Structure 1
Amino acid sequence: MPGDPVLTDRATASLLGLAIGDALGMPTQSMSRAQIVADHGRITDFADAGPHQRIAHGMTAGSITDDTEQAILLARMLVDGGGRIDPREFADRLVEWERGMQAKGSLDLLGPSTKAAVTRILEGVPVAEAGSGGTTNGAAMRIAPVGIATPCDNLDALVDAVVEASMVTHNTGLGIAGASAIAAAVSAGIDGAGVGEALDIATAAARLGSARGSWAAGGDIAARLGWARSWLVRLPADERLEAIAEVVGTSVASQESVVAALALVAIEQDPWVTLGDAASLGGDTDTIGAMAGAVLGAIHGTLAWPGAAVDTVARVNGLDLPPLVDGLLAIRRGRVTRASAGGQTVPVRPS
């Protein structure tokens, strides 16, 4: 496993997919489908923020948003901490990140759940309580590094890792279930699972995650994902995107956007086309694209992404992913070794 080029390729592709999906959705985030069509048509490549883009106003084609930036922040903390996350330090780093964004005049700041939780922590509220209202997709959008660093043969252990990385801002069953689904799908892809198996594992992880944290009202993510997968395949192909936008939903709510992202993965189109579709859906397009891209990259590897797109997103944002990938996979190797010593490793079947 050390230096395994296949695992390195899939892990790299997962982080690249997250960044590419995020950047494709940057100019359309929080816009309606009708407004996206009026400003851009269907998204087929990176684009500058248009005249009606309020959050990312003035950003240039290929620019990432908070989704990728917070995922990289989390990845660095995992690597520096040997796989562990200190919640208070995470809160401090999120505050520092937001202040940097404000200094640049950006409106791309902390999401509603993350902002509320971080504020409560700085006011002295215990970490375990601060995120008790976080039900949005902020934990899921940045969780891919946990999936890269954590094998999915033991889903309870994977969900434990998700909780540690999420509780500071999203310590609810909905927030943790959504993040668990994305992390598990990424982890399964790293180990060679195809789309169907990765989504099965994601559903099982979401079911486990829903029992963690504080209860919050909302549709069960595992149940909604199972329903969406079975329903979409019965629809004509040209009706599926509208169904995801209008029925599954594309808001910041985890039970909408996480399910929408994994439903796009389930359709099994060309990954690049899928991320263009994510950017064209309306709603939280950058986050849906980031989550779908992270999963698709893990499953398909770097060949999923056009070389020009990889070059653009790396150049525009100054991404340096190899050290993070190496560090995250070193953590994964350590966890697999410990599980093997206990006789608990159950490899995912290669696709």
Structure 2
Amino acid sequence: MADNTILDRAMGALVGGALGDALGMPTQLLSPARIAELYGHVDDFVAPFADHPVSKGLLAGTITDDTEQALLLGRILVESGHRFDHARWVNALLDWEREVKARGSYDLLGPSTKRAIDAINNGVPAEEAGRSGDTNGAAMRIAPVGIMMPPEPLDAFVAKVAETCRATHNTSIAIASAAAVAAAVSRGVAGGDWRAASDSAVAAARRGATLGHWVTGGDIAARIVWAQDLVRGKVTGDAIRLITDLVGTGVASQESVPAAFAVLEVAGGDPWQAAVISANLGGDTDTIGAIAAGMAGACTGFSLLPQQHIARLVGIDMSKVRALAADLVAARVKKTGSGKDAAA
């Protein structure tokens, strides 16, 4: 596949994720009924209501921690070279949180990341700090690994995912979740459609579940397959209820990550529709939207994303996103040797 096509898919992953994140920003933490009461059916950027617990004061179309941390991880990946620099990553997260606090944001580090960084600051080694991190923070920001790493060989791919998870989410369930999302992105960047991306995700989740500290929770690969089967062929309203009631939309990896794959199924791989569906789910809408629309965007490419909505995103520097995407693609091409990625 030509390098410019790979770059278009890489940009599709990053900017698709931003669209899903920004659309879900005003609805995060709310119930579906409360979303409908406040905003009606969300199908465009809206400003959060005045007393929103984490999004108050933000403009319509503003990205959140999901996109900011994904771009931050991408930059650390590029700067780290062959071996991921855990110390640089942890310091970057701390610097990021100080910056967003200074901006007056209420959307700060997630529970697993915060707990791990506190442990590292107290002298716990990075390999041990993330041993209880099982929420969706690793999965929400993992797209750059999927852009940088070709999907095969699978063991090397999942090992890179696990390496980036180690300091904050070094558990079987978090690594499986992040591996699933990264593999879907990587398959899309390689030229695969959303169905191929879903298949790659399940295989990567199975491998990821064998790494890290084991924690209890539903098997991610099995739950992705189940969640997609659950909503296949359903009209959107019914699918939203099934995802909300049965799959779950909380910050637990075993809820939000299968929910994102269910959204991908209902949307038929359409990034904007994935963002819209996610925004109306309730719960962790911005993260589910970022994951689902990011995976879909990797499979369609930036050029097929809705440019009129991209133009209204707030808090994102598109020139920096393009530069990061180019650096990640350059690293990917170097790994594949010829720049030819298999789409199968």
* TM-score over 0.5 (shorter chain): yes
Does the CA-based 8 Å contact 2:191-2:342 persist in structure 1?
no
Aligned to 1:110: 109
Aligned to 1:173: 172
Q: CA RMSD in A?
A: 1.7
Structure 1 unaligned spans of 5+: none
Aligned to 1:148: 147
Give the drift of 1:83.
5.0
Q: Distance in 2 between matches of 1:186 and 1:193?
A: 9
Change (3 A) 1:259 1:276: same
Change (3 A) 1:140 1:83: farther
Matched residue type, 1:111 = G
Pairing of 1:248-327 with structure 2 (within 5 A): 248-269=247-268, 270-313=270-313, 316-319=315-318, 320-327=320-327
Q: Which moved more, 1:140-149 or 1:262-271?
A: 262-271
SS at structure 2 position matched to 1:46? coil
Pairing of 1:76-155 with structure 2 (within 5 A): 76-82=75-81, 84-155=83-154
Aligned to 1:75: 74
Does the CA-based 8 Å contact 1:83-1:149 persist in structure 2?
no
Q: Distance in 1 between matches of 2:305 and 2:49?
A: 24
Q: Distance in 1 between matches of 2:233 and 2:42?
A: 25
Q: Distance in 1 between matches of 2:70 and 2:234?
A: 34
Give the drift of 1:79.
1.3
Report % sequence identity: 46
SS at structure 1 position matched to 2:166? helix
Aligned to 1:220: 219
Does the CA-based 8 Å contact 2:20-2:274 persist in structure 1?
no
Deviations 1:118-155, CA, capped at 9 Å, x for gaps: 00001100111100000000000000000000000211
Structure 2 unaligned spans of 5+: none
Does the CA-based 8 Å contact 2:177-2:220 persist in structure 1?
yes
Give the drift of 1:58.
0.5
Per the normalisation by structure 2, the TM-score is: 0.95
Aligned to 1:15: 14
Give structure 1 regions of 4+ aligned residues with deviation exceeding 6 angstroms: none
Q: Distance in 1 between matches of 2:12 and 2:80?
A: 23
Give the drift of 1:268.
3.7
Q: Distance in 1 between matches of 2:61 and 2:128?
A: 37
Give the drift of 1:66.
0.5
Q: Distance in 2 between matches of 1:76 and 1:55?
A: 26
Count residues with an aligned counterpart. 342
Q: Which moved more, 1:227-236 or 1:215-224?
A: 227-236
Give the drift of 1:78.
1.1
Aligned to 1:51: 50
Q: Distance in 2 between matches of 1:231 and 1:63?
A: 32
Per the normalisation by structure 1, the TM-score is: 0.93
Matched residue type, 2:214 = W
SS at structure 1 position matched to 2:286? helix
Deviations 1:197-237, CA, capped at 9 Å, x for gaps: 11011001001101110011100000111112222225455
